[in-house]
Every structure is written in structure tokens, then in C-alpha cells.
Amino acid sequence: MILLKLLWFVRPMFGAMLLAITLGVLGHASAFLIPVLGVYLFQIDFKTSVLLILIFSGILRGFFRYGEQYLNHFIAFTILAQLRAAVFKKMRTLGERVDRGELVTLISSDIELLEVFFAHTVSPIVIALIFNSMILYVLYQLNPIFALIGLIAYLLIGVVIPIVFSHLGTETGQTYRDGVGNLNAYSLEGIQGIKEIVNYGLESSFLDTLKNKGEKLLESQSHMKRLAGYNRALCDGIVLGSGVLVVYFGLQQAVSLNQLVFGFVIVISSFGPVLALSQLTNNLYLTRASAHRVLGLMDEEPKVKDVVSDSLIEFEGATFDRVSFAYDTTNVLDDFSLSLNKGQFIGIKGASGSGKSTLLKLLMRLHSVNEGSLLISGRDIESVDSMNLRSFESVMFQSTSIFNASVYNNILLARKDASEEDVIEAMRRAELDDFIEARHSLILNSMGTNISSGECQRIALARIFLHGGDFILLDEPSANLDALNESVLLHALKEYQGTKTIVMVSHRDSTLRFADIVYNMEDLLM
């Protein structure tokens, strides 16, 4: 059922798929003719015309094979690109996620494995059906017993073995893909928290856990390799056995030598398409598991759905009115009230876990309140157009996402239609003057490993300036910065503020020194 759902994505490429199938059938027919015509030349009659057909069959086989593979991979990678875009679009509707490693695996590895289905499963099945039906007709004309032997062998290799081995390997494949996701998530957490791991002396514990996860993956992989070996051995045995049966029954029926030789060669030479199907099960374990994860995400319902409204607003302030909120069973806010007035620089401090960041997430509508109401410009946030809300909210977190692109493109993410002058002005405001000249040539590494923490945060600040929202939300923006970089960041924010509203949450008093008013979460929650 999972794989059938994937066929929905093939619809736009139906014409190309049909051409790939045609070339595939012609390619296998060309390959089939080589041994058959060879037998004719040396067993029946050596004719120049037959020799030329044999030579052209060998040449055309290459062209047909190339065309089939090219089209199948063109179809596969076109669909994968569309699927990645669809998955990314879906992820944006699902709001905040904590399983970042799982998502990385899904977008990269899981979707990549679906290439096996689109390039090596759909058209090969149809090719095998058409080509081997043609061969059965030829065998039937030669000898009905030969056709029956071929039919049984084709069904065993192309249908029974794939179904049986797919069933045997499904659970292992799912375990393997889940293990890859867990390993990636654990590795990503380790990379991001490498300083804490070293500071607390947890290197050995981290490496031991990493090793255990890797060994479990190897166990699953070894099981799948064994199944692949059994699969191949059975298929080879059936091919050899079918040839032996053709010879045996041919001798029993006392058919002519020519009939016997041709029957043997035709049967032995016709297994290419169905053998390709049998070998698919070696990859379909993982493909089914990957498809299950990808389609599971696509079917997931967002906790907070976007709002579409013709009535747009400007930011005039925000109010938490007796709001209660909980993550699953963990209560965070209870009968909470707070007004955020327009034009103020508002600081919110408190210990970790006190709910500071939750306030920002509610203001961003990553979550909906359980009770009470959250008002934006006097209107319930649940009725505010989502794109309108994002247009006047600018956000900066403790850690900044840096992408493998130029400095310019990393900043341009905040407003894709911004001019070159707008980006340069945002960079100047964020104290990124040293990067202006090299804004196009300097390519940043993923996670910003080739620049300092302060420079990463100033890039995030430049994004805020370029976006230009009137409501700026800052979640521990200087937590990873030294005193100098923190001072640069805060001065730039204060100079930029004007009539804009800034809400900054932090647990450090020094970070909130520019705030017009500072609220303590412990006092607000009393």
C-alpha cells in the first residue's frame, strides 16, 4: 500500500515513463537476440544478413539501455526534487520540531532511497511483464512444455521471491531506517553540544553510545545482506533448473536438436527483466521503510494551521490575557497575563524552564494557547492572517542557522525581494562592515563553522534589520557571546529600535540593561 501511494507522484512524468518502458523492452529484446541469432548462425545457417542483425542488435542494445536508464533517472530525480520541495513545505506547516536529526535523515537519506522505486522499480515491472509475455508466446510456438517451464520460473523469480523476501525483510528494513535516524539525531546533538560534552568529561560515554548505535545498525545490515544472498542463490538455482528442465522434457518428447537448443537458449537468455525484479527486494526493504517515514510526515496534521484572512493589521501591541499553556502534560503557564506595549524595549528574565521562550513561541504562533487569549493589536492571534503575522514579526534565537551559501544569500533569506543596497545597509547596521566587500565571494559553511559566534549572531541581526518587522522577538541572543560581542549586538539593536517594539528574554541582567522595562517570570507567574 505504501509503494502504491508513491505511484501518485509518477503521474506528471507518465509520457517519459512510457518512453522509458518502450526503450527497456527494445533493449532487452536486442540483448535476447544476440545469443539466439548466434545459435542460428552456427547451428542452422551462417547468413550475412543474420550476422548484420546480430551486430546491430549489440550496438542498439547500448543505445536502448542508455536511453532507458537516462529517462528513468531523469524521472526519478525530477520526482525527488518535487518531493523534497513538498516535504519542506509540509514541514513549515508543522511548526516546532525537536527531532532535527530524524528530519535531516528524512530529507536527505530517506528521500534519496526512493530513487530505487522511481528509477528501478516502476518501469522494470512493466518491462518484465511485456518482454517475458513475448518470450512465452515464442516458447509456446516452439513447444508448450517449454512455455510452461518458463512461466513457472518467471513467476517464481519475478513475483513469489520478491513478495516472500520483501515480507521477511520489512521489519529489519524499518529497524535499520529508524536506527539511521536515531544515530543521525544523536550525532547532530553531539556536534552541537560538543563544548558541553568536553566540559563535563562525557567523551567516553558519548562515544560508547555512538558505538552501540552503530553496532545495532550493522546487525540489521548484516541480516539484510544474508537475505540478499539467499535471494540471489534461489534465483540462480531457478534459472539453472529451468534450463535443465527444458533439456529433460525436450529429450523425453524426442524434439529435434534445433528445437532443444533454441528452447534452452531462449529460456536461459530471457531472465534479465525478472532477475532485475527479484534483486529489487534487496533495496525495497529500505525503500518501503523510507516511504513509510516520508509519507507519514506528509500525512501528519499540523498542530497549528495557518490562518488566511483578508483583514490585515499593523502591530500595535500584544497582550496575554489569563493564558494557560502546557507541553503535553507539563504545565508552563497558568492564568498568565502580560501587556507588551508598542515602542518599548521589554526585557523578560528568569531561570531556565520558567517559560520565557514559551512566550515568544506563542507570540510566533508556533503553539496555540490552551486557555485564555493572546491578543495582537487587540485581535485574537488565532484570527490574524499568518502571513500578515510573519510580516511584522522578526525573530532571533540563541543559535543562528547558517547555510552553505554566501554571506549575502544568508542575509537575503530574511527578505527575498530586497535590493543590494538594502542588504548592504542591514550589514552596516549589524556591524558587518568587514564582510561587505566579500559578501558574494565569502561562502559560509553549514552551521557557520568558518566564522565566529559573534559574527553568526550579527548575521542574524542583519536579517532582522533587512526584514524590517515592527515586532522584534529575541530569545537569549547573546547567550553564546563574550562581553564585547554582546555589547556590539545590543548597541546596534538600541540604535535601530526607533518606534519598533523589542521583546528580549534572557537569564542575564547584563543582557537586559538597555530594556525600558524588565519583567521577572517568577513574579509574573505568582
Instruction: Give the E-state strand segments of 262-409 in sequence order.
Output: 317-327, 330-341, 345-349, 371-376, 379-380, 393-396
Report the predicted TM-score, pTM, of the whole model to 2 decimal places. 0.68
C-alpha cell at position 278? 527479484
DSSP per-residue string spanning 107-145:
IIIIHHHTHHHHHHTHHHHHHHHHHHHHHHHHHHHH-HH
Query: pLDDT by residue for the chain (526 residues), tens digit each?
Result: 666 677 677 777 888 889 999 999 999 999 888 888 888 887 777 888 888 988 998 899 999 999 999 998 898 888 888 888 888 888 877 766 656 666 777 777 778 777 777 777 788 889 999 999 999 999 999 899 999 999 999 999 988 888 888 778 777 777 887 787 778 778 877 877 787 788 888 888 888 888 898 888 888 888 888 888 888 899 999 999 999 999 999 888 878 888 888 889 999 989 988 888 877 766 666 677 777 778 888 888 888 888 898 889 999 999 999 999 988 777 888 889 999 999 999 999 888 778 888 999 999 998 889 999 999 999 999 999 999 999 999 998 888 888 899 999 999 999 999 999 999 999 999 889 889 999 999 999 877 778 888 888 889 999 999 999 999 999 888 877 778 888 888 888 888 888 899 999 988 888 888 888 999 988 877 6
365-389 burial string, b = 16+ CB within 10 Å, else e? bebebeebebbbbeeebeebbbebb
User: How far is C-alpha 405 from the geometric centre of its chain's CA atoms?
Assistant: 20
- Residue 1, pLDDT score: 60
Q: How far is CA 407 from CA 434, 436, 456, 489, 492, in A?
A: 11, 9, 10, 18, 19
Contacts of 212 by beta carbon, 8 Å cutoff, 6+ apart: none
User: How far is C-alpha 352 from the geometric centre of its chain's CA atoms?
Assistant: 33
**In whole angstroms, what is the distance from residue 22 CA to residue 124 CA?**
11
Closest-CA residue to 165 (of 284, 272, 276): 284
**In whole angstroms, what is the distance from residue 17 CA to residue 29 CA?**
18
**In whole angstroms, what is the distance from residue 422 CA to residue 400 CA?**
21
